[in-house]
Amino acid sequence: MKIESMAVGPIMTNCYLLCDEENKVCAVIDPGEEGDRVAQWVEKSGCALQYILLTHGHYDHFTGVAALLRHYPDTPVYIHPNDAVESASSPWSLKFPRLGEKNQRWYGEGDELTLGALTIRVMETPGHSAGSVCLVVGDVIFAGDTLFWGSCGRTDFPDGDYRAILLSLARLGRMEGNYRVYPGHDRATDLDSERKGNPYMRHGLTMA
């Protein structure tokens, strides 16, 4: 498993390229606002793009999907249905405008996607948005805007929920063992450090 990250767009969203190098397949997680640049990056990796995966439906994570699909038109795009709408209300949408049948796929709690020899497991972690998910692959969590280094995603958007994100953080905190954490913004971290130093996760862990 090889993971590369690239900060994309004006608010520096972390886009990740997850590769199974042996089988030469990859997935893009949150192409942000720079689909063309992400497409070049995929091409350079030498891996075939198998999935585009969204951690949630905020524009800074998904706007690049359209351009990326122009380069890779048959790629399935996964998101939790709670974060999608029929059509976009503005370019800065906080919901993902659903795609046509050819590309649109949905995922939710417990779903598993196979990427070569890798298994990507979906955990629903609402709070930052109603359809936020974390993607667990081996000892890595792609946390979207649920868990940040020492912090967590904001919950003041229309379907944000502060209590829900605390409970989602607690769920992550209760996972067995340590995991490397790749968040939607800012630097990577690991679960043990967050269990010790993240006040939101610590608060969540004291709740039911």
For binding to Zn ion (CB under 5 A), which residues are involved? Answer: 58, 145
Least distance (Å) between residue 176 CB and Zn ion: 27
Least distance (Å) between residue 77 CB and Zn ion: 17
> 72 or 128: whose CB is closer to Zn ion?
128
- Nearest C-alpha neighbor of 50 from the set 82, 32, 23, 70: 23
> 185 or 202: whose CB is closer to Zn ion?
185
DSSP 81: G
Least distance (Å) between residue 129 CB and Zn ion: 6
| Cβ–Cβ < 8 Å for 29, 49 | no
In this chain, which residue has its C-beta nearest to Zn ion?
Answer: 58
> 27 or 54: whose CB is closer to Zn ion?
54
Tokens coding 68? 């990326």
- Nearest C-alpha neighbor of 145 from the set 27, 56, 18: 56
Name beta bridge partners: 53. 29, 78
Element housing 19 (H / E): strand 13-20
Tokens coding 23? 């089988």
Q: Locate tokens 């640049």: which residue? A: 37
Q: How far apart are the first and last CA of the chain?
A: 35
| Cβ–Cβ < 8 Å for 140, 179 | yes
> 106 or 157: whose CB is closer to Zn ion?
157
> 60 or 194: whose CB is closer to Zn ion?
60
| Cβ–Cβ < 8 Å for 173, 133 | no
Least distance (Å) between residue 114 CB and Zn ion: 27
Least distance (Å) between residue 154 CB and Zn ion: 8
> 116 or 144: whose CB is closer to Zn ion?
144
Least distance (Å) between residue 115 CB and Zn ion: 24
